[in-house]
Amino acid sequence: MYRRDFTLSLLASGAALPAFAQRVAPREGTEYQRLPKPAPVDTPAGKIEVVEFFAYSCVHCFNFEPLLEDWEKRLPADVVLRRTPVAFSPAFVPMQKLYYTLESMGLVGRLHAAVFKAIHVDRLPLTTDGPITDWVVRQGVDRAKFTEAFNSGAVMTKASRAAALQDAYAVEGTPALGVAGRFTVPGQGPNTLVVANALIANVRKG
């Protein structure tokens, strides 16, 4: 997990984040890293991909999520946000599978934020298969359909690809952003998105 202290005051200040101007260029080596080798992107030509690397068990990701949601609502047409669950060890894989199962069932919009709340507010241990499945069923999801998707090869393939992308961006903690296959932005509260905005503008210049 990324070990910055994401305070509630920083969280509150994020509401007006998209209106902020980046007055100085972000600092390479501290506020972002340039990749020595480009990471793969899934977006077509003319689109700029931003990848959020997160873990449901990460409290900083929980605090960052409202900022990211607000930022996503204001994205210009040429920017695409993609969420990617990390796996720093095998213990993370069930949470990866949870996200990709929700995605495959069209339930991210309804349950993604709810998973964070269940773990960090309700203190539920949604880190292994059994508790994850039981919780999802309590949200009104069919157990058999969820279990089939959760254990599918397609979901495992997505989890494996997520781990490979995490390595390609050299992600060491969460939350973090990958920008256009070129840059990694470590979590730094609302400034994470200010730096991302500056890098997106840089990418547009070619």
* pTM recorded for the entire structure: 0.88
Say if residue 21's pLDDT is above 80: no
Residue type, 29: G
DSSP 43-85: SPTT-EEEEEEE-TT-HHHHHHHHHHHHHHHT--TTEEEEEEE
Identify the CA nearest to 84 among candidates 93, 96, 75: 96
pLDDT band at 206 (very low <50, low <70, confident <90, very high): confident
Lowest mean pLDDT among 18-22, 140-144, 157-161, 196-200: 18-22
Q: What domains can you pick out in the chain, each with its CATH number?
A: 45-204 (3.40.30.10)
Q: Give the integer Cα–Cα distance in Å for 66 and 113.
A: 9
Phi, psi of 121 (to 5 degrees): -105, -50
Say if residue 23's pLDDT is above 80: no
**What pLDDT shows up at residue 140?**
98
Identify the CA nearest to 197 among candidates 13, 4, 25: 25
Residue 205, CB half-sphere, CA atoms under 13 Å: how many? 6
Tell me the average pLDDT of the chain.
90
Query: Do the bridges between strand 176-179 and strand 183-186 make them parallel or antiparallel, or are there none, so unpaired?
Result: antiparallel
Say if residue 135's pLDDT is above 70: yes
